[in-house]
Amino acid sequence: MYCYTDEKKIRLHVKNIRGDLGRSGRGAGQMVRTYKKKSTRGQVSKSVRQDAVDAVLKGCSLRKAPESFQIPKETLRRAVEKSRKGKELKSFSDSCKIRQVFSEAEELELTEYVLKASRIGFPLDSKSIRKLSYQLAEKNNMSFPPSWAVNEMAGEDWLSGFLKRHECISRRTPEATSLARATAFNKTSVEAFFEKLQDLYSRYSFPPERVYNLDETGLTTSQKPQKVVAEVGAKQVAHVVSHERGETVTMCGFINAIGNALPPVLIFPRKKFKSNMLHNAPPGAKGLANQSGWMTGDLFLESL
């Protein structure tokens, strides 16, 4: 803890801290991901600069043009010199794109590859995308930061900027899907299902209250404790429960097309079902028992 009263000492201490952070943490050549510009410098649009340049070339003086177009005098002077030399005026975003490793077309191609891998059930994690990007840049003899070659992968800063430039992809938590389920969900099976469904709808005029959907989920008997207020610095904060690792009870829920729900079906991991297992259960709930606690073919028919 530092306690300075002299303003010069405080500034010196802050300067030393910034220097230590720059040497030990984020050093030269690394960008700040959440940097927000605090000044308006360089924010004059390309169209405004071009209009101001055209006015000067047509006879307007360099004193009146900056006041008329609300543009800094030096910015306009440099733009006029570039225009007279035949150089193209570039915006701030255009200047940033020059420093990008990949072009827009190459990044779109990489994005399509990431999307395709995700759609077929083999999504890429962050490290895999960074390694793939480095290999792509190396094979095509592109210019990239030296840290890419040292780590043999693109930087985390590049990946963060890549995700911001392409909002169609983002970091997601995948759901574990078995190979059998993934292979069964194909175009042929889906088309066959909807053909049969359309045939049923054409033969019977089902009202929405007679169209039901059901799904099953697992409920644990030991809930995760909520956040509590406890001693600061304590090594462990305990919350007493009946058991640390509870058992899983399968619940099958039914709901129709207008939003009405039927009482659920609960399948307990027991050999025989007893009525006391439904204590404090939703009214009308049906209780079943199975050694594993999972849904079986016979129990599914009984649930229906």
Token pair recorded at residue 172: 């997601």
Tell me what pLDDT residue 280 has.
Answer: 87
Tell me what pLDDT residue 15 has.
Answer: 55
Please classify residue 202 by burial: count the beta carbons closer than 10 Å to its beta carbon, then call 0-12 exposed, 13-18 middle and 19+ buried: exposed
Name residue 216's beta-bridge partners.
Answer: 252
Tell me what pLDDT residue 209 has.
Answer: 92
Half-sphere exposure of 62 (CA within 13 A, CB side): 10
Token pair recorded at residue 44: 């004059």
Give pTM, 2 decimals. 0.54
Tell me what pLDDT residue 238 has.
Answer: 84
Contact between 252 and 214 (Cβ < 8 Å): yes
Tell me what pLDDT residue 135 has.
Answer: 95
Token pair recorded at residue 114: 């990431």
Closest CA to 253 of 204, 231, 286: 286
Tell me what pLDDT residue 24 has.
Answer: 41
Give residue-wise pLDDT tens across range 218-253: 887 777 778 888 888 888 888 777 666 777 889 999
Parts of the chain with a pLDDT under 70: 1-35, 37, 39-45, 88-98, 242-244
Please classify residue 147 by burial: count the beta carbons closer than 10 Å to its beta carbon, then call 0-12 exposed, 13-18 middle and 19+ buried: middle
